[in-house]
A and B are shown apart, each in its own frame.
Chain A
Amino acid sequence: MIRFLVGRLAMAVPTLIIISIAVFLMMRAIPGDPATAMLGDLATPEMIARLKARMGLDQPLPVQYFVWLGDILTGDFGRSISTGDLVLPLMLERFQISALIVVTAVFLASAVAIPLGMFAAWRQGSAWDLSTVAVSTFLLSLPSFWLGLIILMIFGLRLGWFPVLGTIGMSEGGWTKIAALIMPVLTLLLIEMGAILRMIRASTIEVLRQEYITHARAKGLSEWTVMWRHAFRNAFAPTWTLIGLILGALLGGIAVVETVFTIPGLGRLLVQAIYTRDYPVVQGCILMIAVTYVLLNLLIDMLYPVFDPKVAR
């Protein structure tokens, strides 16, 4: 058990190092150097040279990397070029909003999809099962930003239940703030329900074919006990991994949904920074999302033995 956990932890370290190198190189690969970009058109060569020396850009690349890494590890992500704000507090503030949306949506999607999917598997081939498959295939084919726009059109504009501009709703606090988050959560919930339904149904069907299920039934256990105690425990493990992947993928793709509902989250921050070529913010956001993704999958893997005792040894 301990060896499994330590081994898994050790695997994450090279990944994190490579990610940091990739992000560092990505930012150095931008055409034109950052000093020239920051000073604009009116800069004289002397000004550029002075800023370069101050930013350490005249040092060899590996030296620059370690200086940069040292800054990042001490929480110094620099300042935004366009607003002058410190990048780290800005990201943390935006991250809270994105994380709240993503985690709520995935939690609710799992809570709805897991019982529905297991029921479909239990009645495999029935009308209920077929409609579950149809609905999940349909949901998987909807782009989140389009579903978001349709939801916005119906619930925000036609019915007027929720604020159409998230930014304004978010700034008010209280019920208005919650109302502003309902539509993005609903959008992601529906999309991810499709994936989770499909996975839990497939793995439950797989499990129900096993001999120990037949054995449990032959012992005269009630169907409820068979499904809950024997089928669920074994069918849930792959779904658990999928949930981890979904959480990460959503963090990477949250920008589109935040754009639809004008929610000031981390994804929106990243996209806007890309538009304005605010590279310290771009770099910070990419690094933060990638590291969160790695740590999240690490956490999911480390909790895996809880759900699948076969792994823990």
Chain B
Amino acid sequence: MNILSRMGIGGWIGGAVALALVVLAVAGSWIAPHDPVALDLRARFAAPGTAGHLLGADEFGRDILSRLIYGARVSILIAIFTVMQAMLVGLTLGILAGYFRGWTDRVISVLNDSALAFPGLLLALGIMAVVGASATAMVIALGFAFAPAVVRVTRATVMSIREKEFVEASRVIGNAEGITMWRHVMPNCIAPLTVLATGMFGWVILAESALSFLGLGVPPPAPSWGNMLAAARPFIQDAPFLIVLPGICISVTLLGVNLLGDALRDIMDPRMQK
């Protein structure tokens, strides 16, 4: 494959991290040595390296390694569903606005610009305040918070595509508008949206962990990297590893996704090529 040979070191590292995350998300329950919510009060604050608890245990004696693995799963699933929702909403509105122009475009654009005027996390906080904290609420909240970016990119791409001859040709031969959009306009949005989706995946993981850290995301006792950090905050002096480990997981994930995103952008955005 041509793409693979052009990935560069960063892209390979990013791809490896992404692959590892997918494996954790799919097979986490078989890999994790313990039940992530099982209490073992004799192992409270067990240091990393303790027999039976490779990465130690938290204030309830719950196994950190297992919680990190399940946390990965929660984060990845939330990120996947959020990005899918943002893409679905954003792509639909973006294509409608870019293709039909006129009033459709004006209404969608004004609403969209207003949504962009909310900082993403603030919009999510507002929605969570109304509907209450849960994983589903978070997917909906973050999905809406990130959709406007998709609308903007899709609309801009469609605007430039719709003037091309092949779109005109599809209309001239009598294809319905829906078919023209689906067959000829949408495929051209895939490249820029793939780049956007990769970046968004990282933002969602960051936003999810931030919300969970604030106690407005994944509700305990279910583990997420963010709520593990929040739970460890009072024990920062006595058990620093409880803080260090989840943070490393978030950072490595973000680093991997960012590197993969950069590599994809370099490959797919012709302006970046020499």
Contacts and interface: CB of A to CB of B under 8 A. Distances in A.
A15 interface: yes
8 contacts: A14-B114, A15-B110, A18-B114, A26-B127, A137-B259, A141-B258, A150-B247, A293-B122
Interface in A231-287: 248-249, 251-253, 255-256, 259-260, 270-271, 274-275, 282, 286
B41 interface: no
Contacts of B229: 145-146, 149
Interface string A1-39: 000000000010011001100110011011000000000
Contacts of B240: 153
Contacts of A253: 119, 121-122, 210
B255 A138 contact: yes
A72 interface: no
B114 A15 contact: yes
Interface stretch (B27-35, B56-64, B158-166, B212-220): B212-220
Given A143-B254, A293-B119, 4 more contacts: A145-B213, A146-B247, A146-B250, A271-B215
A286 B125 CA distance: 9
Nearest to A274: B129
A30 B130 CA distance: 5
Instruction: Kindly name the residue among A143, A253, A282 whose own CB sees the greatest number of chain B CB atoms within 10 A.
Output: A143
A253 B255 CA distance: 20
Nearest to B122: A252
A152 interface: yes
A51 interface: no
Instruction: Kindly name the residue among A146, A289, A297 whose own CB sees the greatest number of chain B CB atoms within 10 A.
Output: A146
A255 B206 contact: no
Contact of B258 (A137, A146, A297): A137
Nearest to B128: A274
Given A30-B130, A146-B247, A271-B125, A252 B215 contact: no
A300 interface: no
Given A23-B126, A274-B129, A255 B120 contact: no
Contacts of B129: 26, 274, 282, 286
A57 interface: no
A143 B210 contact: yes
B233 interface: yes
Contact of A29 (B120, B130, B206, B254): B130
B167 interface: no
Interface residues of B, number: 41
Nearest to A149: B243
A149 to B, nearest CB: 5
B209 interface: yes
B236 interface: yes
B251 interface: yes
B100 interface: no
A256 B250 contact: no
A49 interface: no
B20 interface: no
B213 A290 contact: no
A145 B254 contact: no
Contact of A18 (B110, B130, B258, B262): B110
Interface in B197-213: 206, 209-210, 213
Interface in B252-274: 252, 254-255, 258-259, 262
Contact of B236 (A29, A152, A249, A275): A152
Nearest to B211: A256
A86 B231 CA distance: 33
A138 B256 CA distance: 10
